[in-house]
Amino acid sequence: MVQSGMKVGLGAGRTAARGIAALAERVKDEGLDIECVAASDDAEDLARSLGLRITDFALLEELDILIDGADAVDRHMQVMKGSRGAMTRERIICWASKRTVFMVTENKVAESQIGAGTPLPIAVMAFGLVSTRNALRHVGINGVIRQDIDGRLFITDNGNLVLDASLRGDENLAQLATELNDIPGVIDHGLFIDEADIILVEKEDGSIDRLERAGL
């Protein structure tokens, strides 16, 4: 999917890191000439350490392809992201990409739809936090402020807080995404409802299932 001359978006997280490593191997073995934009500081550091060329995204209008992981996906091509807190940058890269590819292991494919058993991350500003949380409660969301393993507040690369919210699993996710987008204190959230073009599912036996958006 990645060819010489492409501008490639790199996602954040463990699965995305595997994709970055595999891409770096192709660049080394095949001599691919590509430019990369990373969704998180950690992903950028990894890509640089593996020899991938990183470009300032502020200078690019669009990307050819995004390669990313996900916390959960479903057969409706809905994706949950944000366990690493990078969903804002990931969404920007996603929308700038001509094609988006998400990679997951089989255990991350939801039986019905994303949301059941996987916390929904919501990036919020610290300014007006109490008011924002009150607005979230009005749309049925009660989020817990994320902390790191040392008990300190988790801060995203953009300087925001993250609330992790539990969902029932039967919500109208498109409607919920719209409601979240309408709350001023919400910077972004982990619901990627219609951004995925291709989902690659790695099964236990090592084979790959490929899900594609209709009409791709």
Residues that are catalytic: 90
Q: How many other CB atoms are there within 10 angstroms of residue 18's CB atom?
A: 13
* Contact (CB, 8 A) for 118 and 77: no
Q: CA-CA distance, 150 to 140, in Å (whole number)?
A: 29
Tokens 């929904």 belong to: 120
Q: CA-CA distance, 7 to 62, in Å (whole number)?
A: 8
> Strand, helix or coil at 202?
strand
Which CA distances in Å does 107 have to 26, 110, 134? Answer: 27, 8, 34
CA 197 to chain centre: 13
Task: Report which secondary-structure segment, H or E, holds 73.
Answer: strand 72-73
